[in-house]
Structure 1
Amino acid sequence: MVLTPAGGNDFTTEGSKLRYEFTSADGGKATALHWTRSVRGVPTPTEAARVSDTPEHNHFRPYSRQEVMIPMRDGIKLHAIILRPTDTHEPLPFMMQRTPYGVDGYVPDRINAQFTELAQSGYIFVMEDIRGRYESQGQFVMMRPIAAHHDPHSSDTKNTDESTDTYDTVAWLIKNVPENNGRVGVAGVSYPGFLAAEAGIDPHPAVKAISPQAPMTDVWVGDDFFHNGAFRQTYGYDYVLGMESSKEATFQPLKEDAYDFFLKAGSFAAAGKSNVDDLPTGKAFLAHPGYDDFWQSRAVQPHLDRVTVPTLEVGGWWDQEDMWGPQAEYAALKPHDAQHEVYIALGPWNHGQWTLTTRHLGAVDFGSATGDWFRQHIEAPFFAHYLKDQPGFDAESAISFQTGSNTWKQYPVWPPKQGIVERNLYLGTDHALSFDRPAAAEAFTAYTSDPASPVNYRKRPIEATYSPTGSHWYYWLVENQKPYETRSDVATWKTPVLDHDVTITGDVLADILASTSGTDSDWVVKLIDENPDDASLGNMAGYQLMVVDEIFRGRYRESYEHPQAIPAGKPEEYKFSLHGADHVFKQGHRIVVQVQSSWFPLYDRNPQTFVPNIMKAKPSDYKAAEQHIYASSHIVLPVAE
Structure 2
Amino acid sequence: MIPMRDGARLHTRIFVPAGARTALPILFLRTPYGIDDSAQAIESRYKELFDDGYIFAFQDIRGKFGSEGDFVMLRPARKAGDSKGLDEGTDAYDSIEWMLKNVPANNGKVGMLGNSYLGWTSVMASLEPHPALKAIAPMASPADMWLGDDFYHNGAFRLSYGFEYAYMMEDGKGNSQFAFDRYDTYTWYLGLGSLANVNRDIFRNRITTWNDFTAHPDYDAFWKRRSFALDTPELKVPTLNVAGWWDQEDFYGPMKIYETLEKRDKRGLNFLVVGPWKHGGARVGPGDSLGAIGFDSATAKYYRERIEIPWFAYHLKGQGKLDLPEALTFEAGSNQWRRWDTWPPKAGVEQRKLYFGADRSLSFSAPNNDAEAFDSFVADPAHPVPYRHRPIQATYFPGGSAWSTWLVEDQRFVDGRPDVLTWESAPLANDLTIAGSVTANLFASTTGSDADWVVKLIDVHPEHMPGNWPMSGFQLMVSSEVFRGRYRQGFDKPVAIQSGAVLPYAFSLHTQNYTFRKGHRVMVQVQSSWFPLIDRNPQTFVPNIFTAKDSDFRPATHRVYRSASHPSHVSIPVVSSPSR
- Same fold judged by TM-score > 0.5? yes
Q: Determine the C-alpha separation between the residues in 1 that align with 2:66 and 2:60.
A: 7
**Could you tell me how far apart the structure 1 residues matched to 2:351 and 2:50 are?**
44
Q: Are 1:445 and 2:372 counterparts?
A: no
Check 1:363–1:520 CA distance in 2 against 1; reply closer, same or farther (3 A cut): same
Q: Is this contact kept in 1: 2:234–2:265, CA < 8 A?
A: no
Tell me if structure 2 keeps the 8 A contact 1:238–1:253.
no
Partner of 2:166: 240
Aligned-pair CA distance for 1:269:
2.3
273-282 or 496-505, larger mean C-alpha shift: 273-282
Distance 1:305 1:315, change over 3 A: farther
- Give the number of the structure with larger relative contact order, counting CA–CA contacts within 8 Å between residues 6 or more apart: 2
Contact residue 183 and residue 208 of structure 1 kept, 8 A: yes
Contact 1:527 1:592 (C-alpha < 8 Å) held by counterparts: yes
Contact preservation (8 Å) 1:504, 1:582? yes
Shift of 1:116: 2.1
| Paired letter, 2:189 | F
Q: Secondary structure at the match of 1:192?
A: helix
Q: Residue 225 of structure 2 is aligned with which of 297, 301, 305? A: 297
Partner Cα separation in structure 2 for residue 616 and residue 457 of structure 1: 24
Name the stretch that deviates more: 254-263 or 321-330. Answer: 254-263
How many residues matched? 567
Aligned to 1:58: none
| One of 105, 128, 134 as aligned partner of 1:179 | 105
Distance in 2 separating the partners of 1:146 and 1:275: 31
Superimposed CA distance per residue, residues 480-526 of structure 1 (whole angstroms, 9 cap, x where no aligned partner): 00121110000000000111111000110111111111110000000
Alignment partners' CA distance in 1, 2:552 and 2:419 = 19
Moved more, 253-262 or 400-409: 253-262
Distance in 2, Cα, partners of 1:220 & 1:80? 31
> What does residue 485 of structure 1 align with?
415
User: What is the distance in 2 between the residues matched to 1:400 and 1:535?
Assistant: 27
Which residue does the alignment assign to 1:200? 126
Q: Confirm or deny that 1:346 pairs with 2:274.
A: yes
What is the match of residue 464 of structure 1? 394
The reply on whether 1:557 has 2:488 as its aligned counterpart is: yes
Indicate conservation of the 8 Å contact 2:118/2:141, yes or no. yes
The CA distance in 1 between the partners of 2:191 and 2:542, in whole Å, is 20
Residue 394 to residue 304, structure 1, CA distance change in 2 (3 Å):
farther
Cα pair 2:146 2:153 within 8 Å, conserved: yes
Structure 1 distance, partners of 2:525, 2:234, is 40
1:105 to 32, 37, 54: 37
259, 282, 289: which one pairs with 2:186? 259
Q: Does structure 1 residue 598 correspond to structure 2 residue 529?
A: yes
8 Å Cα contact 1:201-1:306 kept in structure 2:
no
Matched, 1:504 2:434: yes
- Give per-residue Cα distances to partners, 1:9-63, cap 9 Å, x unaligned: xxxxxxxxxxxxxxxxxxxxxxxxxxxxxxxxxxxxxxxxxxxxxxxxxxxxxxx
Equivalent residue, structure 1, for 2:357: 428
Amino acid at match of 1:568: S
Tell me the CA shift for residue 112 of structure 1: 3.0
Asked whether 1:148 is paired with 2:79, we answer: yes
Question: In structure 2, which of residues 123, 140, 145 is the aligned counterpart of residue 214 of structure 1?
Answer: 140
Q: What is the rounded CA distance, in whole Å, between the counterparts of 2:516 and 2:179 in structure 1?
A: 38
Amino acid in the other structure paired with 2:568: S
State the identity as a percent.
48
Whole-Å separation in 2 of the counterparts to 1:332 and 1:305: 12
User: In the aligned structure 2, how far is the partner of 1:581 from the partner of 1:253?
Assistant: 37
Q: CA deviation at 1:110?
A: 3.3
SS state at 2:247 partner: coil
3-state DSSP class of the match of 1:476? helix
Partner of 1:82: 14
1:303 Cα offset (Å): 4.2
AA at the equivalent of 2:3? P
Distance across 1 between alignment mates of 2:62 and 2:234: 23
Following superposition, the deviation at residue 535 of structure 1 comes to: 4.8
Aligned position for 1:128: 59
Residue 479 (structure 1) shift: 0.3
Q: Secondary structure at the match of 1:355?
A: coil
d(CA) in 1 for partners of 2:517, 2:414:
22
CA distance in 1, matches of 2:284, 2:179: 25
**TM-score under structure 1 normalisation?**
0.87
Q: In 2, distance between residues paired with 1:535 and 1:586? A: 13
Q: Which residue of 2 aligns with 1:59?
A: none
Cα drift, residue 446 of structure 1: 0.9
Aligned partner of 2:249 in structure 1 is 321
- Whether contact under 8 Å (1:420, 1:638) holds in the other structure is yes
Shift of 1:252: 2.4
CA shift for structure 1 position 119: 1.1
Q: Say whether 1:162 aligns with 2:88.
A: yes
Query: With structure 2 as the length reference, what TM-score do the two structures score?
Result: 0.96
CA distance in 1 between counterparts of 2:104 and 2:290 reads 42
Secondary structure of the corresponding residue to residue 336 of structure 1 = coil
Task: Give distance in 2, aligned partners of 1:130 and 1:171.
Answer: 16
Separation in 2 of the partners of 1:229 and 1:598? 14
* Runs (5+) with no aligned partner, structure 2: none
What do residues 286-314 of structure 1 show as CA deviations (whole Å, max 9, x unaligned)? 11111111111111134475641100011
**Could you say which residue in structure 1 is the equivalent of 2:149?**
223
The CA deviation string for residues 44-83 of structure 1, in whole angstroms up to 9 with x for no partner, is xxxxxxxxxxxxxxxxxxxxxxxxx111111111110000
* CA-CA distance at 1:91 after TM superposition: 1.0
Give the structure 2 partner of residue 11 of structure 1: none
For residue 343 of structure 1, what is the amino acid of its counterpart?
F
Assess, with a 3 A threshold, how the Cα gap between structure 1 residues 116 and 172 changes in structure 2: closer, same or farther.
same
Following the alignment from structure 1 to structure 2, what is the Cα–Cα distance between the partners of residues 220 and 479? 25
* Residue of structure 2 aligned with 1:617, choices 526, 542, 548: 548
Q: Provide the rounded CA distance (Å) in 2 between the counterparts of 1:407 and 1:416.
A: 17
Determine which of 290, 307, 314 is the counterpart of 1:385: 314
The answer (yes or no) to whether the contact 1:414–1:506 under 8 Å persists in 2 is yes
Aligned partner letter, 2:334: S
Contact 2:80–2:231 (8 Å) recurs in 1: no
Q: Is the 8 A contact 2:381 2:536 kept in 1?
A: yes
Contact 2:44 2:284 in 1 (8 A): no
Alignment partners' CA distance in 2, 1:501 and 1:110: 41
- Structure 2: distance between partners of 1:161 and 1:297: 12
Match of 1:91 in 2: 23
Q: How far 1:271 moved relative to its partner?
A: 3.6
The superposition leaves residues 166-214 of structure 1 with CA deviations (integer Å, 9 ceiling, x where unpaired) of 1111111111112211111011101111111101101011001011110
Alignment match, 1:41: none
Aligned to 2:328: 399
SS of residue paired to 2:161 = helix
1:635 aligned onto 2:574: no
Provide the rounded CA distance (Å) in 2 between the counterparts of 1:305 and 1:367. 42
CA contact (8 A) 1:266 1:619 kept: yes
8 Å CA contact 1:533, 1:542 repeated in 2: yes
Structure 1: gaps (5+ residues): 1-68
